[in-house]
Structure formats: structure tokens, C-alpha cells
Amino acid sequence: MRRRKILPLLGLMAIPWASKAASAWPDQAVRLVVPFTPGTGPDIIARFVAERLSAKIISQPVVVENIAGASGNIGSQQVARAKPDGHTLMSSVNTLVMNASLYKNLFYDPVADFAPLGLSAWGSLVLVAHPSQRPGTLAELIAAAKAAPRTLTYGSPGVGTPHHLSMALVETAAGIELVHVPYKGTAGAVQDLLGGQIGYMFLPVHVSAQQIRAGKLKAIAAGSPQRLPQLPDVPTLAEGGLTGVDVDMWYGFFAPKGTPPELVDRLNKEIAAILSSPEAKAAFEAQGLIPATSTPATLGEIVARDKGRWADVIAKRGIKPE
């Protein structure tokens, strides 16, 4: 499956009670939960969709509610326990499935407790290095790490973040061992990377591209299955020798499990229409995101696949949240 392929929307079989619920929806304000702080990717996507869904498509307001904390677990749990009537939705990101293996006492299951509505965007990460680092390609980095294990360093915004797990996946796939330096947020990590205190890091493309063009960082590999339009000369992880490995971040919309199929189908179509607009493309690309749509089933498959993939990496690397 090519990740940016726009997939056809599938109709869903309706049952009588679901049909009744769908025809009455919405009869009150729709609550769109973002389990992260304002300004994050899921929040940007949620606010873009909420404004247009409320103003042009349904007769009720769509209220974005940020319920941050515990790496998204607090807000996600609230949505999982909400009434499945289409009045509580969630805009989330792939940390939803990563958390399932990072936290032992999680009170929701990312596969069993949500009804996927569809993808909303993809976000790409780039493996970058301080210019002082001698390895300039992924192959050279792997060779250097094998020759001298646990000497090269990399940073992240914290243990269990996509930046951290992306490098952990590279370490696992390549059979190498680097030293992880976790920070409390992205700003401190980027500052030390630019200063040469740490050697490597995965960064979002819209953050890294400017620094790469200015010569302040060195691009090692794009984490996407394809080369990135912002950095067309940077090879992918697969081109660097790690076939079948990509670390793109997916974003998507969810509802509580048990939401009537007709509502899932309608929400999928309404949201997809918003995301397919040229306005969405321009607004998202400014934030380093590529709008995407999919069927609910496709997002469900991605969630299930990634839950297993990241569980394997987390177990093999012995990663535990701080």
C-alpha cells in the first residue's frame, strides 16, 4: 500500500437503529477532542476541519477541546469511554498506538476501543546530523556504529516520542547501538543538535529543511517511503539500505467504538471532502503535513499494523516511559 494514495470511500451496511441515529445527527454540539496541546499537528488538523464542518456541512458547532497529558492518554481515554453517538470525536496521531506498549496501565485499547473514521494527514521525519559528524550517509552511519557501538549520540524530545522510536526502529533494523539523549521537549534537543552536543536526530521535514539548506544540519535520510518534495536530493531509509523501514507519522480521526456505521460513513465522507480541497493542501503543507484521506477500514488496518510494529521495537529495545 502506497501511503499517499487517495482511496475510494466505501459505503457501509446500515441497521435500523443506526439509520435512525444517523438521520438525527447532530442534535447538539459536536465535541472534537485533541489529546495534545494547542499548536500540535492533531490540533492544527482538528481546527481546520472543525471550522469547515461546522460552518458549511452540519447545523451544530464543532468545538475543539484540548485534553492534554500523559502523552495523549488522558484525552484518548475520555473519547474511548464517551457515548458512541457521533457527538464525541478525536483527532490523533500515531502515538496512539505507541502508547499501547509504553504504558502498562492503559485504560483503553487503540484497536478495540475506537471506530476509525479515516486518515487526515501524513507527516514526514528526516534523519539529520550536525555537520561535524563524519558519517554523511546512512550506510556510513551504520558502519561507524557497528565499528564503535554506543559512541554516536542522538537526541529526542523525550522517551517514547516518535523521534525516539524512529531511531530505535533504525537501530533495530540495522543491528546497531547508539546513545539516546532524551530532552524535555523539542527546543532543547534541537538547540544542542545545532550546537554539536548531540550528533543525530529525527526532525519533522518543515523544521529540518531550513536548517539543512542553511548548512547548519546535514541530511542523512528521509523517513518516508518516497523522497520528499522539500528535499528531493535526500535518499530514503530504504535507499540507504534499510528496506521496508519508514517512520512517517500518520494522523487520523476516530470516534468511540460502537458509533453507528452510517455515522462513521457520513463523517468519513464529510471530513474527506474538506481534506481534499486545495485550501487544505496549502494550509497543511505550511505545517509540514500532507493531507490524506482513506476509508475507515484502511485506517483500522494501519492502526493494527503499527500497534504490532511499535510493540516489537519497544520490547526489543527495552524502552520504558520516564
Mean pLDDT of 69-83: 95
DSSP 8-state code for residue 7: P
Mean pLDDT of 276-281: 96
Beta bridge partners of 89: 32
Mean pLDDT of 34-55: 94
DSSP-H helix ranges across the chain: 16-24, 41-52, 73-80, 95-102, 138-147, 162-174, 186-195, 205-213, 261-275, 278-285, 296-317
The pLDDT value given to residue 19:
54
The pLDDT value given to residue 218:
97
Question: Tens of pLDDT along 293-302?
Answer: 999 999 999 9
Tell me the pLDDT band of 5, cut-offs 50, 70 and 90.
Answer: very low
The pLDDT value given to residue 78:
97
The pLDDT value given to residue 21:
56
- pLDDT value at 6 more than 50: no
Q: What percent of the chain has pLDDT over 90?
A: 83
What CATH number does the domain located at 125-222 have? 3.40.190.10
- pLDDT value at 23 more than 60: yes
Region(s) of the chain under CATH 3.40.190.150? 16-122+249-317
User: Which residues lie below 8 Å from residue 320, measured CB to CB, with a gap of 6+?
Assistant: 102, 159
Tell me the pLDDT band of 24, cut-offs 50, 70 and 90.
Answer: confident
Residue 318 three-state SS: coil
Tell me the pLDDT band of 17, cut-offs 50, 70 and 90.
Answer: very low
| Residue 242 CB coordination number (10 Å) | 18
- pLDDT value at 36 more than 80: yes
Superfamily of domain 16-122+249-317: Bordetella uptake gene, domain 1 (3.40.190.150)
The pLDDT value given to residue 9:
43
The pLDDT value given to residue 8:
44
Q: What is the DSSP string of 121-166?
A: EEE-EEEEE-TT-S--SHHHHHHHHHHSTT-SEEEESSTTSHHHHH
Region(s) of the chain under CATH 3.40.190.10? 125-222
- pLDDT value at 231 more than 80: yes
Distance in angstroms (rounded) separating the CA atoms of residues 299 and 302: 5
Average pLDDT of the chain to the nearest whole number: 91
Report which of residues 1 and 306 the model is more confident about. Answer: 306
The pLDDT value given to residue 11:
43
Mean pLDDT of 93-118: 94
- pLDDT value at 1 more than 90: no
Mean pLDDT of 55-78: 91
Query: What is the 3 state secondary structure string of 157-181?
Result: CCCCCHHHHHHHHHHHHHCCCCEEE
Residue type, 131: P
